[in-house]
Amino acid sequence: MNVILIFIQKAIAQGISILFGAVGEIITEKSGNLNLGIPGLMYMGGIAGLMGAFLYEKGVENPSPFKGLIISFICAFICAVLGAFLYSVLTVTLRANQNVVGLALTIFGVGFGNFFGGSISKIAGGVGQISVAVTASAYQTKIPLLSKIPIIGQTLFSYGFLTYLGIILAILTTFFLNKTQIGLNLRSVGEDPAAADAAGIDVAKYKYLSTMLGGGIAGLGGLYFVMEYLGGTWTNNGFGDRGWLAIALVIFAVWNSYNAIRGSILFGALYILYLYMEGLSRGSQELFKMLPYVVTIIVLIITSMRNKRESQPPKSLGQAYFREER
């Protein structure tokens, strides 16, 4: 019983950073931008949040957890937004190839994270791991009282606020895309920018804003990983391939962020399943780590076979739009 409880907790803990990434990517892709820089943006969000908290805790005599939280949250979000802004300038204004720019941004973001991770550990004196324990404690604060309820409290209420923020964002995103005028406009930009343009929608503005908002949300996934999951430390390449899982989750959820909530927990569970299987050799561990990707491929096959128009990717995904092109 206890093992199952812990497994569920860990699966959710693994899933949340992926969920942030996926929600950000869904908002981005709905505008027709295939931002493969999301993994990099998550690194950038993570390190920026950590740096903000670190500099704050270092500069103040008695750092307050709440202020540390606010500062690191803003730093993470803004840094990832700036990364996504760079992507938008290159792909929307300069119409560079989206895949190339996205991959470059991921490589840049990972390097950015590792570089500044090294820098702050040097500022800290170069001794072992750096830690922003005060700020991290704010992120790790569980819901009082409710989390004390046996089983239910442990499975549902024993997480920091980012977990709930992620789920709320996922639900809000689906609502926003399907029930509001701006959401409808945004979807049309991703489907057929020429049609959206003819309807009087500012295609470039929508692409910029959704890509930047999506990037910022993905950055929070990195922040979650650094603060709540790792407890306020940094290890180089520690975030691993969770960013790519986020992009796989977008496909798994058929571009619906509401589906992504369940999907993220499933992915989280599959991601750590090998730890709970006894007697696995190293080789078969690697096979187990493949499971989320295998599931994604199966979903791709099923959605392609059903051939339902509504569960296809946005039609203009990956293509730049230029109005006067003949």
Q: Which two tokens stand for residue 92?
A: 């929307």
Q: Which tokens in the block code for residue 256? A: 């619906």
Can residue 171 be called a binding residue for another protein (CB under 8 A)?
A: no
Q: Scan residues 274-313 and list those touching another protein (CB under 8 A).
A: 306, 308-310, 312
CA atoms within 13 A on the CB side of 9: 19
Size (the chain), residues: 326
Shorter beta-carbon distance to another protein: residue 148 or 308: 308
Task: Taking the CA atoms of 76, 79, 84 and 88 in sequence, report the sign of the dihedral they define.
Answer: positive
Among the listed residues 58, 122, 148, 315, the single contact to another protein using CB under 8 A: 315
Q: Report the nearest approach of another protein to the CB of residue 171 (Å).
A: 16
Total residues at interface with another protein (CB under 8 A): 28
Any contact of residue 241 with another protein (CB under 8 A)?
Answer: no
What span, in angstroms and rounded, lies between the C-alpha atoms of 296 and 306? 15
> C-beta of 33: minimal distance to another protein in Å?
17
Neighbours of 220 (CB within 10 A): 29
Query: What tokens does 245 get?
Result: 């899982």
Q: Give the number of C-alpha atoms closer than 13 A to the C-alpha of residue 138, restricted to the C-beta side.
A: 17
DSSP state of 124: T
In the bound state with another protein, the residue whose beta carbon lies nearer, of 29 and 228, is: 29
Minimum Å distance from CB 193 to another protein? 10
Q: Which one of residues 62, 128, 144, 326 is an interface residue with another protein (CB under 8 A)?
A: 326
Contact with another protein (CB under 8 A): which of 59, 125, 145, 181?
181
**CB of residue 182 vs another protein: minimum separation in angstroms?**
8
Rounded CA separation 215/23 (Å): 9
137 near another protein (CB under 8 A) = no
122 or 315: CB nearest another protein = 315
210 binds another protein (CB under 8 A): no
Residue 191 vs 241, nearer CB to another protein: 191
DSSP tag of 278: T
Please count the other Cβ atoms lying within 10 Å of the Cβ belonging to residue 9: 14
Beta carbons of 249 and 18 less than 8 angstroms apart? yes
202 binds another protein (CB under 8 A): yes
Contact 49, 233 (CB under 8 A): no
Can you tell me the distance from the alpha carbon of 254 to that of 231, in angstroms, rounded to the nearest whole number?
A: 32
Tell me if 188 contacts another protein by CB under 8 A.
yes
Q: Which of 78, 120, 156, 184 binds another protein (CB under 8 A)?
A: 184
Q: In this chain, which of 192, 238, 295, 300 binds another protein, going by CB under 8 A?
A: 192
CA gap 141, 160 in Å, rounded: 5
Which residue of 200, 278, 279, 283 would you call a contact of another protein, by CB under 8 A? Answer: 200
Chain residues binding another protein by CB under 8 A are 179-182, 184-185, 187-188, 191-192, 194-202, 306, 308-310, 312, 315, 323-324, 326
